[in-house]
């Protein structure tokens, strides 16, 4: 009886670790992709802002 509980506990822990091992890189990749996208959006917005400022000065 005791051995079965230990085995069940170990399998549960293994399943949790496996899920974590699969999910962790996915989460990191998503975070990385989001930060890259946010940086690109910021750069685009800054470029647009600079262009509009230059246009306003030239007008």
Given a cut of 80, whether residue 12 has pLDDT beyond it is yes
Which pLDDT belongs to residue 57? 78
pTM, rounded to two decimals: 0.51
Given a cut of 90, whether residue 13 has pLDDT beyond it is yes
Which pLDDT belongs to residue 53? 84
3-state SS record for 25-54 = HHHHHHHHHHHHHHHHHHHHHHHHHHHHHH
Domain ranges of the chain: 25-59
Distance of alpha carbon 3 from alpha carbon 5, whole angstroms: 5
């Amino acid at each position: 009886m005791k051995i079965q509980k230990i085995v069940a506990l170990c399998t549960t822990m293994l399943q949790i670790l496996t899920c974590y091992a699969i999910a962790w890189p996915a989460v990191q990749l998503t975070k990385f992709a989001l930060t890259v996208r946010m940086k690109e959006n910021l750069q685009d917005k800054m470029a647009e802002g600079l262009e509009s400022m230059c246009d306003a000065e030239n007008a």
